[in-house]
Structure 1
Amino acid sequence: MSLTEGGSGMTTGDGLASRLRESVSLWGYVAIYLGWAWLFWGFVILSGESVWTFPNVLLFYLGSLSPLIGGITMIRRSDGMAGLRELWDRISNPRRIRPRWYVVIFLLYPGLTVVAGGLAVLTGATTRPFDPVSTFQRLTNPLSLFAFFGFTVGAGLVEETGSTGYFLDRLMGIWSPVTAGLISGAVWASWHIPFFLMEGYYSQASYQPIVWRFFATFVFLETLYAWIYDNTSRSVLAAVLFHLMINLPGELLAPSQVVRWYTFFLLVLVTVGVALWRRRDTTGVFG
């Protein structure tokens, strides 16, 4: 049974009152998600100093906990300890994910990146699609290595506990997965706005993002998150692993800007294809 058929406890018959209560809870999560982060990050921005200097780095990581804090707070408020126990199962239970969805999780985005690199070479757009040597050189710096683990391993667990485990989950109880993904993606993108205002934030990353493409990517990616989540028994672990596999190719392979453009356009095509596929599919096999 897909989540839209009642996996999160919301059904069409629940009525307007239930939808209103759920909407209030969703806004409560957004307030914590954005408010907590922007409060701490605001001090970093106002300092005018690098985010990677003390105490700014501490303030940055405190602010970054907002999706975790928001998700746990709202689940505890709405579902009590039983909800938190279920959340832990959704984070830690790999059996929620069927084998074919592990293939999607681990290969989809890295595959897009590699295909984009191949297309960039075939079209003559670049002769050097990736630069993994620069990654190795960058990660010999302890600060860059610390940031790398934050960008990859840590980010998925902290962000998806709330963003997927609570926010996307509840959105999909009200709207279709595509609509829920678009809403969640827009909120997710807005959470990252302060990154561009912090001094030196991207100095430890593998590239300098193009702003509009950066934010548009979140919206398309979150639609894929909804697709995966809806087909893995509401697995937060699936979202955490997918987040990891989104970040790893960029951090390890260091794609050129032209490859990142090709990857973005391929992502758009795949997301549109998935959205159309979902509309046609009435078997429940692929969601």
Structure 2
Amino acid sequence: MFFAVAFAVPWLGWTLLDHAALSLWLFPLFVSLAGFAAAWAEGGRAGLAALCRRTLRLRGTLRWILAAALIPPTLGAGYLLIQGIPLNALRPAFDIGLATTLAAAIVTGPLAEEFGWRGYLQPALLQRLSPLATALLIAAAWSLWHVPLFGAAVFGSVESSLRYVGYLAVWSVFLVYLVERGGGSVWPAVALHWAANVHANVLGALFPSVDGSLLPGGSKGLGTYLIVTAAFVAVHWRFFAHRDAAMPVAAEAAAPGPTRQAER
């Protein structure tokens, strides 16, 4: 059910309707709605309640939310420094336009999608796969989901398609780690997804003298991002390589609601 709802409605909408507002604000919501629908279909009211309890939890997640929000701009700033942008180019220049962009970006991707990708699908895959395999598989599905939205602009060649898959794989690797460390809470995923979508805008405001074509995002900076991500996986290899590393959260997601309540 998850894939049917998450893909069918947005794909039909993006293919049949040429409506910018619906494409941005409505159709992506069906990924999160698919997560809730699948939880209901598989576990009834108890399954839906369990998904909500796990994904909405805030206790003990603040440091993971903060880390998630800082990862994309930190990677982006590192890329700019590697490209030779001097630190004295740092001259913050924020305006109301940026504030509007940052606020809108919380909804259009993170809240609209993450209750599906990381709230429902990730723990379901972790029951069978290692965290690394789970992250890469979600990155592939996540990329495929964007095909009708971005079309030839991103998926016009094999090379550009693979670059986009690699870009989403970077975030998926960090997301599986942060969400599991946060006990299955979706808020670290929302924070990182948001930061990934806007980090080029933020860096542009922090370094206003830098040509916009040099700012990271998509394929720009991908080599740097992949190297850092590979190093992160190597440092946390025990977590990423073994299926049981994330089993507590995955098991909680799979267990029937009444059983979990009785155990508590």
TM class by shorter chain equals 0.7 to 0.9
Q: Does 1:87 align with 2:68?
A: no
The amino acid of 1:95's aligned partner reads R
Q: Does 1:35 align with 2:8?
A: yes
Residue 215 of structure 1 is matched in structure 2 by 165
- For structure 1, the residue ranges without an aligned partner over 5 or more in a row are 1-27, 200-209
Q: 1:114 aligns with which of 64, 71, 77?
A: 77
Work out the CA distance in 2 between the residues paired with 1:131 and 1:215.
33
Work out the CA distance in 1 between the residues paired with 2:44 and 2:228.
38
The residue correspondences of 1:97-246 to structure 2 (distance < 5 A) are: 97=61, 99=63, 101-121=64-84, 136=95, 139=97, 145=100, 149-197=103-151, 212-246=162-196
Work out the CA distance in 2 between the residues paired with 1:281 and 1:70.
28
Residue 251 of structure 1 is matched in structure 2 by 201
Work out the CA distance in 2 between the residues paired with 1:173 and 1:159.
21
Residue 68 of structure 1 is matched in structure 2 by 32
Q: Is the 8 A contact 1:96 1:235 kept in 2?
A: no
Count of residues in Structure 1 that have an aligned counterpart in Structure 2? 229
SS at match of 2:181: coil
Give 1:274 deviation, angstroms: 2.4
Q: Normalized against structure 2, the TM-score is what? A: 0.73
Say which is worse superposed, 189-198 or 231-240, in terms of deviation: 189-198
Q: 2:227 aligns with which of 269, 284, 287?
A: 269
Work out the CA distance in 1 between the residues paired with 2:227 and 2:78.
13
Q: Is the 8 A contact 2:76 2:203 kept in 1?
A: no
Q: Normalized against structure 1, the TM-score is what? A: 0.68
Work out the CA distance in 1 between the residues paired with 2:84 and 2:107.
30
- For structure 2, the residue ranges without an aligned partner over 5 or more in a row are 154-159, 205-209, 247-264
Q: Is the 8 A contact 2:25 2:108 kept in 1?
A: no
Q: Is the 8 A contact 1:129 1:259 kept in 2?
A: no
Give 1:103 deviation, angstroms: 4.2
Work out the CA distance in 1 between the residues paired with 2:91 and 2:152.
26
Q: What is the identity percentage for the equivalent residue pairs of Structure 1 and Structure 2?
A: 21
SS at match of 2:128: coil
Q: Deviations over 1:242-263 (max 9, x none)?
A: 2122223123334744442663
The amino acid of 2:120's aligned partner reads Y
Give 1:63 deviation, angstroms: 1.8
Give 1:61 deviation, angstroms: 3.2
Work out the CA distance in 1 between the residues paired with 2:13 and 2:167.
25
Give 1:211 deviation, angstroms: 5.3
Work out the CA distance in 2 between the residues paired with 1:178 and 1:161.
20
Q: Deviations over 1:204-257 (max 9, x none)?
A: xxxxxx654333211221121111122111111111112122223123334744
Give 1:149 deviation, angstroms: 4.0
Q: Is the 8 A contact 1:109 1:246 kept in 2?
A: yes
TM-align CA RMSD: 3.4
Q: Deviations over 1:175-208 (max 9, x none)?
A: 0000000000100011111222499xxxxxxxxx
Work out the CA distance in 1 between the residues paired with 2:79 and 2:131.
27
